[in-house]
């Protein structure tokens, strides 16, 4: 049996070393805490030492998995036996600290076994799992879904690509809240505000919503903007309103809100454009919040640029929650190389998707999110080419 020893202050770091040296499938044979060398500074912390090997080097030993658990158990028990009862607050604090570290280490070990040493899966399930992770779905989430499929599908279903796809689609769509389809009432306009980071595509999306028959192009739409920070922004939306024949109200002060709403009272839909709020702009966030409280929108759509990293989008969702976001809208899908990672955003935000936008034109580039998108984004996605190019190829 050929084994190697690795040590570091925390289990997470040791496992990283093991992975780097012996690869993803490394087998952990033993884990223990070791004291620093005699000559070392007495303040130095204990180290975690892990004995590990490549699977091919310990083939036979692998059969006796429980021995590893016994070794670990013995290591922990003997340490506890040798230790005298804690006396001072300092010792108790150290002990608590150690328990917390141990808990964290066990979590890391658990994850390592759960996600690094996946059981071999039926071919179709493996293919699907790979597609999901390559498209950007968080790998631990994809693994959980694949493991659920292993438990819940029968033998015939597990070798059927259709059955597996169907199962995954149901699981994924079940996690995304369905959009609320509000009836448009004649007597009271439906008010929808668009919020988001600078340049996310709020104004363009508003124009698409107002102009495209797939959205509210056939309705009487009024526009309110309080994005008065830039003259160019006001001019851009005024020009659109003139061309499309939509009444527009530019609101500079909160006191003007009631009057603006009264003037648009005969509209079926009122679309509200806001100024882009960068992550550092706390004051702008507060100003927007104050305006929105007065406007009291039925829906607040957080507009997200699909080309931005999912981590940043998730952070933006958390931050903008102060504005009572009710829906997510994704723009620039035409420029996003892959889209599966947007599922991570939807899952983290737990909000329905209002619109998907995939182009700069006011007509033909806005649509609802549906099951087909889900399928394209995460399941049947063999090559990663932009959505627009895929559409072109499909029509040839
Ligand atoms: N390719 C592509 N471009 C888009 C899409 N949506 C918006 N854009 C472009 O993105 C740029 C910024 O769009 P805006 O609508 O002005 O963004 P905004 O969020 O209103 O920006 P601020 O008001 O400055 O915060 C413009 O050049 C738009 O044409 C989209 O779906 N696809
Ligand atoms: Mg704008």
Residues 139-165: pLDDT tens digits?
888 888 888 888 899 988 888 888 998
Chain centroid to CA 308: 11
Q: Is the CB of 204 under 6 A from ligand 1?
A: yes
Q: What tens digit of pLDDT does each residue of 173-199 get?
A: 887 777 666 666 667 899 999 999 999
User: Does 337 or 328 have the greater pLDDT score?
Assistant: 328
Dist. CA 314–CA 201, nearest whole Å: 17
Q: What is the pLDDT of residue 386?
A: 43
Dist. CA 321–CA 160, nearest whole Å: 41
- Angle formed by the axes of helices 161-175 and 123-134, to 10°? 40
Q: What share of the chain is helix, strand, coil (3-state, %, to 5)?
A: 50, 15, 35
Q: What tens digit of pLDDT does each residue of 97-115 get?
A: 888 888 887 776 666 655 5
Q: What is the pLDDT of residue 223?
A: 97
Q: Is the CB of 233 under 6 A from ligand 1?
A: yes
Q: Is the CB of 276 under 6 A from ligand 1?
A: yes
Chain centroid to CA 183: 30
Is residue 271's pLDDT more than 60? yes
Could you give the count of Cα atoms lying within 13 Å of 18 in the half-sphere of its Cβ? 31
Q: What tens digit of pLDDT does each residue of 281-331 get?
A: 899 999 999 999 999 999 999 999 999 999 999 999 999 999 999 999 999
Pocket probe mutation, ligand 1, options 335, 360, 388, max atoms within 8 Å of Cβ: 360
Q: What tens digit of pLDDT does each residue of 191-229 get?
A: 999 999 999 999 999 999 999 999 999 999 999 998 887
**Ligand 2 centroid, distance to 202 Cα (angstroms):** 5
Lowest mean pLDDT across 43-52, 110-119, 164-173: 110-119
Q: What is the pLDDT of residue 24?
A: 80
Is residue 393 a contact partner of residue 387, using CB atoms and an 8 Å limit? no
Using the atom order of ligand 1, give the atom closest to the CA of residue 227.
23
Counting ligands in written order, the one closest to the CA of 332 is 1
State phi, psi for 5 to the nearest 5 degrees. Answer: -110, 140
Percent of residues, the chain, with pLDDT higher than 90: 41
Q: List the domain boundaries for the chain.
A: 4-116, 123-175, 190-395
Q: Is the CB of 198 under 6 A from ligand 1?
A: yes
Q: What is the pLDDT of residue 185?
A: 66
Domain 190-395: CATH class, spelled out: alpha beta
Q: Is the CB of 31 under 6 A from ligand 1?
A: no
């Amino acid at each position: 049996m050929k084994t190697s020893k690795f040590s570091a202050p925390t289990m997470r770091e040791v496992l990283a070393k093991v992975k780097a040296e012996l690869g993803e499938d490394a087998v952990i044979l033993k884990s223990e805490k070791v004291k620093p060398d005699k000559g070392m500074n007495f303040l130095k912390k204990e180290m975690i030492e892990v004995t590990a090997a490549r699977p091919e080097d310990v083939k036979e030993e692998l059969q006796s998995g429980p021995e590893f658990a016994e070794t670990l158990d013995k290591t922990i028990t003997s340490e506890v036996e040798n230790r005298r009862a804690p006396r001072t607050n300092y010792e108790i604090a150290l002990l608590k600290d150690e328990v917390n570290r141990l808990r964290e280490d066990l979590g890391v070990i658990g994850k390592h076994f759960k996600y690094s040493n996946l059981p071999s899966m039926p071919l179709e399930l493996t293919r699907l799992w790979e597609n999901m992770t390559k498209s950007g779905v968080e790998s631990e989430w994809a693994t959980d879904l694949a493991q659920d499929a292993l438990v819940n599908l029968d033998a015939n279903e597990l070798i059927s690509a259709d059955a597996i796809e169907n199962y995954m689609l149901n699981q994924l769509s079940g996690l995304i809240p369905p959009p609320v389809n509000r009836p448009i009432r004649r007597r009271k306009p439906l008010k929808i505000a668009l919020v988001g980071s600078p340049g996310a595509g709020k104004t363009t999306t508003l124009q698409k919503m107002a102009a495209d028959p797939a959205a509210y192009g056939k309705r009487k739409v009024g526009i309110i903007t309080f994005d008065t920070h830039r003259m160019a922004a006001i001019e851009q939306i005024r020009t659109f309103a003139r061309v499309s024949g939509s009444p527009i109200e530019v609101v500079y002060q909160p006191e003007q809100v009631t009057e603006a709403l009264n003037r648009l009272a005969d509209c079926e839909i009122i679309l509200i454009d806001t100024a882009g709020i960068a992550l550092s702009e706390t004051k702008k966030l507060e100003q927007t919040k104050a305006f929105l409280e007065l406007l009291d929108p039925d829906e607040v759509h957080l507009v997200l640029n699909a080309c931005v990293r999912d981590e940043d989008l998730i952070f933006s969702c958390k931050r903008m929650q102060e504005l009572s976001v009710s829906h997510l809208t994704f723009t620039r899908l035409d420029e996003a190389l892959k889209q599966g990672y947007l599922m991570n955003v939807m899952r983290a935000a737990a909000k329905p998707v209002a619109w998907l936008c995939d182009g700069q034109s006011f007509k033909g580039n806005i649509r609802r999110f549906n099951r087909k998108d889900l399928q394209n984004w995460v399941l049947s996605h063999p090559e990663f080419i932009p959505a627009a190019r895929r559409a072109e190829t499909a029509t040839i």
